[in-house]
Amino acid sequence: MSLYISWVSPTPSYELRLATARLVHRFNFGPTPGQYENLLAHGLAAAQSAVLVHGRDDPGIDTVKSLVLGDLGPFPEGNRAKSNAFWRRIAKDSSDLVMWWLDRMVAARYPLTERMTWFWHGHWATSISGVTYPLAMKKQNSTLRNLALGNFEDMAREMVVDGALNVWLNNNENYVQAPNENLAREFMELMTLGVNHYTQNDVAAAALALTGYSTDQSNGRVTFNPKEHFSVPLGILGATGVFDAQSLAKLVVSKNDNVQFITDRLWFRFVSGSTAAPPTLAKSFASRDISSLVNALVHSSAWTDPANTLVKSPVEWFVGACRALKVRPSTLDAGDTQWLLSQMGQVPFNPPNVGGWTYGTAWLSGVNYQYRFQLAQNIVAKGNLAPLDVQPLDMLQACANWLGVPAWSRRTANALTLSLATPSELALAAILSPEYMVSP
């Protein structure tokens, strides 16, 4: 493959530019102004360490006002005025919740925790369309954030009794007399083991193990009632015993299939949809320590392989552009922003189904581009374009470095050249270029 790189200086090497761009876009939602050049100056090892920083006070996150949501109680009945007020409040809280999380992604100085929380949200894909109450969604979001780089067994044990997930997958209607299999099946298929690594008998038995839990939907609180629980020995995945949600999660996560499944899921979302994870990668997840797996991914040799391109999902593209242009999402019109994201197919807290969001070329339709343009227009209108304040001859390279693009193709360089006179046009065209829509 011939890559047209005459629009960027020959040093540092294209490989370093590519690897660094991939790391900062995929693990940190993209560079802030100046960050890409700074990382390039310090070499790959420094970039690998930089994107892994997490778990310390984040002065960026500190600038996002904390969001406190109230318990709105049961659905109001009868009284129309009361009911209207209730649904307006649900809508307001839901919108605030989305903008609050987008703000955190954009504001973070050490974005790995938010980025991993975003990954896990797609993995344990729970939608407010089924849960209704933003408070329960926020509670789940905190759980995922607290354990985003923790131990996966802890995460599975917490999530199997997460209120929002239990409502979403009908565990509130799972009774000993007539089990509802929804949570049991998706827990094994999509969240822990992968399809075909269990039998229908395992699903039926796991559903019984998950009886006796009831969720207060308005706040996501789950209570266990031993009298409603199936406390007779069950055979699940070759083990026999009396299981509850905790011991079920422990058993399932202890299976070898869990190691490869989670490793593959991270590889698929962070590295490549077309190449397979190297066979040794799963070893880093043997202890179920998520940070060890992420660390191994970041230090893998995948980053210079030209095959490992990815399409940025709409939220990843949007957050990346906001970080570069220093635009806080909450300063944009909240309704408009969420409508455009939903037209592009991705609003946080609202995945289309329990399988999570789509991937790759599915995001690349003409219709998607129509809304991408409108969102880009709104970002650029509020954006800080100072990084383009350079001599015209230097503008294309400055733009690539600003946005963390390894190289412009001749096609894109020619098109962007038409906009050199107007920085806002150049910025708009650049974030709408193929090289920025994907992570090359």
Where in 383-412 is the site for another protein (CB under 8 A)? 409-412
Name the segment binding another protein (CB under 8 A); options: 68-76, 78-86, 391-399, 416-424.
416-424
- Render 212-247 in DSSP notation, one character per residue: TEEEETTTTEEEE-GGGS--S-EEETTEEE---HHH
- Render 280-324 in DSSP notation, one character per residue: TGGGGGTT-BHHHHHHHHHTSGGGG-TT--EEPPHHHHHHHHHHH
Residue 278 is a binding residue for another protein (CB under 8 A): no
Q: Which is nearer to another protein, 113 or 439 (CB)?
A: 439
Q: Tell me the backbone φ, ψ of residue 350, rounded to 5 degrees.
A: -140, 55
Count of residues touching another protein (by CB under 8 A): 80
> Is there a contact between 403 and 324 (Cβ–Cβ < 8 Å)?
yes
Residues 79-138 that bind another protein (CB under 8 A): none
Q: What angle do CA 90, 373, 61 make, to 5 degrees?
A: 50
Q: Which of 139, 175, 299, 304 binds another protein (CB under 8 A)?
A: 175
Residue 378 is a binding residue for another protein (CB under 8 A): no
Q: Which is nearer to another protein, 46 or 176 (CB)?
A: 176
Residue 170 is a binding residue for another protein (CB under 8 A): yes
Residue 425 is a binding residue for another protein (CB under 8 A): yes
Residue 3 is a binding residue for another protein (CB under 8 A): yes
With a CB cutoff of 8 Å and minimum separation 6, the contacts of 15 are: 304
Q: Which of 2, 11, 280, 301 binds another protein (CB under 8 A)?
A: 2
In Å, how far from its chain's centre is CA 285? 20
Residues 282-311 that bind another protein (CB under 8 A): 306, 309-311
Residue 362 is a binding residue for another protein (CB under 8 A): yes
Q: Which of 203, 208, 251, 315 binds another protein (CB under 8 A)?
A: 203
Residue 437 is a binding residue for another protein (CB under 8 A): yes
- Render 142-199 in DSSP notation, one character per residue: HHHHHTTTSBHHHHHHHHTT-HHHHHHTTGGG--SSS---HHHHHIIIIIIS-TTSS-
Residue 189 is a binding residue for another protein (CB under 8 A): yes
439: helix, strand or coil: strand
Residue 6 is a binding residue for another protein (CB under 8 A): no
Residue 359 is a binding residue for another protein (CB under 8 A): yes
Q: Which two tokens stand for residue 312?
A: 């940025």
Name the minimum Å distance from CB 86 to another protein.
20
Q: How far is CA 43 from CA 49, 73, 270, in A?
A: 10, 54, 21
Residue 202 is a binding residue for another protein (CB under 8 A): no
Name the segment binding another protein (CB under 8 A); options: 226-234, 242-250, 271-279, 394-402.
271-279
Draw the binding track, 311-330, toward another protein (x: CB under 8 A; -: no contact): x-------------------
Q: How far apart are CA 366 and CA 369, in angstroms?
A: 5
Q: Which is nearer to another protein, 2 or 301 (CB)?
A: 2
Residue 280 is a binding residue for another protein (CB under 8 A): no
Name the minimum Å distance from CB 412 to another protein.
6
Name the minimum Å distance from CB 417 to another protein.
9
Residues 247-266 that bind another protein (CB under 8 A): 260-261, 264-265
Residue 352 is a binding residue for another protein (CB under 8 A): yes
Name the segment binding another protein (CB under 8 A); options: 42-50, 195-203, 234-242, 388-396.
195-203
Q: Which is nearer to another protein, 32 or 308 (CB)?
A: 308
Name the segment binding another protein (CB under 8 A); options: 62-70, 191-199, 212-220, 223-231.
191-199
Q: Which of 434, 307, 412 is nearest to 6 (CA)?
A: 412
Name the segment binding another protein (CB under 8 A); options: 68-76, 140-148, 156-164, 166-174.
166-174
Name the segment binding another protein (CB under 8 A); options: 22-30, 136-144, 297-305, 366-374.
366-374
Q: Which two tokens stand for residue 194?
A: 């992968």
Residue 354 is a binding residue for another protein (CB under 8 A): yes
Q: HEC string of 241-290?
A: ECCCHHHHHHHHHHCHHHHHHHHHHHHHHHCCCCCCCCCCHHHHHCCCEH
> Is there a contact between 288 and 153 (Cβ–Cβ < 8 Å)?
yes
Q: Which is nearer to another protein, 390 or 438 (CB)?
A: 438
Task: Please give the single-letter amino acid code of residue 305.
Answer: D
> Is there a contact between 338 and 348 (Cβ–Cβ < 8 Å)?
no
- Render 42-97 in DSSP notation, one character per residue: H-HHHHHHHHH--SS--HHHHTSPP-------SPP-S-HHHHHHHHHHHHHHHHHH
Q: Which of 343, 382, 385, 397 binds another protein (CB under 8 A)?
A: 343
Q: Which of 83, 256, 370, 384 binds another protein (CB under 8 A)?
A: 370
Q: Which two tokens stand for residue 159?
A: 């999530």
> Is there a contact between 17 and 2 (Cβ–Cβ < 8 Å)?
no
